[in-house]
Structures are given as C-alpha cells and as structure tokens.
Amino acid sequence: MSDQPVIRTRGLTRYFGAKCAVHDLSLEVPRGCVFAFLGRNGSGKSTTIRMLLGLLRPDRGEASVLGTDSRQLPPELRARIGYLTEEHQLYGWMSVREAGDFQSAFYPRWNEKIFRGVIGHFGLKPEARVKHLSRGMRAGLCLALTLAPDPELLILDDPALGLDPVARRSLVESMIYLTRRSDRTIFFSSHHLSDVERVADYLAVLDYSVLRACCPLESFRTSVQEVQMRFAGVPPPLPTIPGFLQAFRTEHELRVTCVHYNRETEKALRSLQPVAMEMVPLGLEEAFISYLGERGEKTFILSDTEVAS
C-alpha cells in the first residue's frame, strides 16, 4: 500500500468545448512527498485537480487517488483527502468558530488543536465573520479547515494566490508542519517559485495542457542551463540546438538557455566560435521562466530606424 503512488493518472484528457484543457496527462505522485504542480495560468492545473477529486469528469483516460478511481471516491476516502480550493470561498455568514464547528461535524478525525493552531497562526479571531476577513485570513481559515481533519493527502490548488508575503510564509510553514508525519503527501500548485523551492521535493510542469516535466526539484533546475557566449563581432545566427529554449542577443553577447545540456549541445555552440563561453547556473525561478517563456530568440538591440524614431 505505502509504495503505491498516492495519485496516479493515465492519459487524462479533458476538453472544454472544443478547447483541450488537459491533454494526455500521465503522472504518479509517490507517498510522503511534497509535490509542486506548476504551469502558467490556464494551463490546466485546476482542471487536473478537479478531475483528481472526481469533481469533473475526464473525457479520456483515468485518474486514481489513494488507489481508488477518482470518479468513485467513497466518503471514507474523501475524509482522508484535504482539498483547498483556489479562491478560498466559504460561507460568508459564518464566524470562524462556526466554520470550524460546521466542518468538524463531518470528520471523525477532526483535530481541534490543529484548527486552533492554524487560525491562531494566521491571526484569526474565532468570532470574526468570514465575510469580513481579508483574503489572507480567509486562506488561513480554509487551510485550518483543510488541515484539522488530519488528511493523508493534501491537495492545494494555488493556495498562495493573492496572499501577502506574511500570509504566504504562514502557509508554507503550515505545509512544512504537515510533513512531520512522513506518510503525509502534499500536492499543490503555485506560481511562487520561492515557496516551491522551499517545500517541494518534486515538481511537474504543465505547458498549455501538456505535461512537459516531472522530476525532482533539483533535476529541473540543473536540467535547464544557460550558456553565455562572448563574440568579437556581432553574434552569428544560431544553429539548431537540441533542447533549445531561448536566446538573448546583445551587441557582443549571446545567451542561450536549453535543457539537457550535453556534448552535442556544446559542439553546436562551439561551432559558433565564441571568444568566451561560460555556463551560468540558474535559480529555480529563472529556470522556470525560461522553460515556460516564449521559445525563440529575443534581442534588446534595436534596429537603427527604431532608435532614430
């Protein structure tokens, strides 16, 4: 049981109208890890998550969570899955305490201490009305409601969306707190790479509905490589480079990012005969941006006519 992946999808596909939102997604999330699910807005992360939870029917393929087909998650299993929705929607008329009481009625393993701890951590007063809470506070409350049932699998759909840095830090702390038990799994999507860098073991990247990367965090960073080349004159045009992502061109410089830098790549670049060539290590965020940014060549040198005007 324990070596079975907590989440497994095979060929998961979903259309909205004629538009494909998730295409042929096959993914396995091992138990006990923190898994970051990345991608640009509208790349299909939320759709995937909603399919995982059986809230949305896949058009093709299948998804299973905790070993059970997502479409038929029985209540006992739902009790073991915590799900934090994207916009932290809650019933506005409830107070924080009422929300806790409401939620606790459904979960046999409800841990009031965790609930109090998390809302205290986010500075929430139990008597405050939900509709008067700030976005960060609401996120905190949602998180408390999600964490207090002590879920085995925590699925967070962009939990940091719209949070200020302090609330975000509290969120990350809470996530790390959850990993105290090694059998707890967190699957979350985020746009904050610094958070991802802090907490994630693995990451997967969706690029326009297609899964492009799924690997340990460090592998991703090291797979994306930037090479800085200096030329005596104007840099020559680029040949076809395997794994090419982006190139920036300045007067005497050419910076190329690519994945899976290897001898072949090096040979292709050396053939340009640069004066100097240097590998520049990338941070996770830069790696991510070049990975998902627009492919191709960019330049900051304006042509003469543009300068003149």
Partner 1 sequence: MLDVAANCTVCVNTVTVALNITINTGSSVPIYKQITEQVRLAVATGKLVVTDQLPSVRVLAESLVVNPNTVARAYADLAREGLIETRPGRGVFIIPKRKVMSREEGRRRLEPLLNTLISEGLAMNFSPDELQDAFEKKLSQWQNEKGGKQ
Partner 2 sequence: MKQLIFKELREQFKVAVLGLVILTLMVSLAFAAYGTQLQQVVWSMGQKTSDSLQPLLRNDLLIQVSFFCAIFGTLLGWLQIRAEKHPDLWAFLVHRPIPRTTILRSKVVAGLLLYLAGTGLPLFGLILVVSIPGNVAAPFEWAMALPLTSICLVGMVYYFAGLLTGLRQARWFASRGFGLGLAVIANCSLFAMPEFWHALLIIVVAGTLLALTVWGSFQTGGFYRDQPVAGKVALTLASTASVLVLIGLLFALSINFLASRGGYTYSHYQLTREGKILRVTQRGFDEADITDLDGQPVLDEKNGRKITLKDLQQRYAQGVSASVDVEQRARRNNQVGESFFNLARFFSPWRVQDKILWYLTADGRLVGYHGISRRYAGTLVPRGTGGSGVVDDSRFLLPQNYRYSYLNNYNIMQPGVLASAKTAYVVDLEKRELKPLLTVTNGDAIHGFSEATSVIAPATNASVLILTRKFIRLLDLEGGTKLQLPYMPSFPQYPTVSVFRYELTNFVVRLEPDYFENKISGGKLLSRVEWVNQDGSIRNAKDLPKLPEPAQNSRAERFLIPLMPPPFPPWSWDEPYRIWNLLRILPAALCVGVGWWLGRRNNFTPKALAGWGIFHLLLGLPGFLAFLAVQEWPATEPCPGCKKMRVVDRESCEHCGVSFAPSEKTGTEIFEPLI
Residues that bind partner 1 in the complex, under the rule CB under 8 A? 34, 113-114, 117-118, 120-121, 169, 172-174, 176-177, 179-180, 193-195, 197-201, 218, 221, 280-286
Closer Cβ to partner 2, 54 or 231, answer by number: 54
Q: Which of 18-26, 36-44, 114-122, 274-282 is the region at the interface with partner 2 (rule: CB under 8 A)? A: 18-26
What's the sign of the alpha-carbon dihedral 294, 210, 42, 82? negative
Distance CA 189, CA 170 (A): 17
- Name the one residue in this structure whose structure tokens are 């904050």: 192
Cβ neighbours for 5, distance < 8 A, ≥ 6 positions apart: 28, 29, 30, 31
Question: Beta-strand (E) ranges in the chain?
Answer: 7-16, 19-29, 34-39, 60-65, 68-69, 81-84, 153-156, 185-189, 202-207, 210-216, 224-230, 244-249, 253-259, 276-280, 296-299
Contact partner, 106, from partner 2, partner 1, none, Cβ < 5-8 Å per class: partner 2
Cα separation values, 110 from 6, 103, 125, 223, 240, Å: 22, 9, 20, 42, 57
* Binding to partner 2 in span 122-141, by CB under 8 A: none
Contact partner, 166, from partner 1, partner 2, none, Cβ < 5-8 Å per class: none
Does 271 bind partner 2 (CB under 8 A)? Our answer is no
Closer Cβ to partner 2, 165 or 242, answer by number: 242
Does 219 bind partner 2 (CB under 8 A)? Our answer is yes
Per CB under 8 A, the list member of 67, 216, 239, 283 interacting with partner 2 is: 216
Distance CA 231, CA 43 (A): 38
Distance of CA 66 to the CA centre of its chain: 20
Q: Which of 75-83, 114-122, 191-199, 277-285 is the region at the interface with partner 2 (rule: CB under 8 A)? A: 75-83
Least distance between partner 1 and beta carbon 259 (Å): 16
Q: Which of 36-44, 52-60, 163-171, 188-196 is the region at the interface with partner 2 (rule: CB under 8 A)? A: 52-60
Per CB under 8 A, the list member of 79, 161, 268, 272 interacting with partner 2 is: 79
Does 45 bind partner 2 (CB under 8 A)? Our answer is no
Per CB under 8 A, the list member of 7, 8, 38, 88 interacting with partner 2 is: 88
60-65/7-16 β-pairing: antiparallel
- Least Cα distance to 285 among 155, 198, 157 occurs for 198
Closer Cβ to partner 1, 113 or 263, answer by number: 113
Distance CA 232, CA 275 (A): 6
**199 in helix, strand or coil?**
helix
Contact residues toward partner 2 (CB under 8 A) are: 13, 15, 17-18, 20, 23-24, 28-30, 33, 50, 53, 55-57, 59-60, 71, 75-76, 78-79, 81, 83, 85-91, 93, 101-103, 105-107, 201-202, 205, 210-216, 219-220, 223-224, 242-245, 258-260, 291
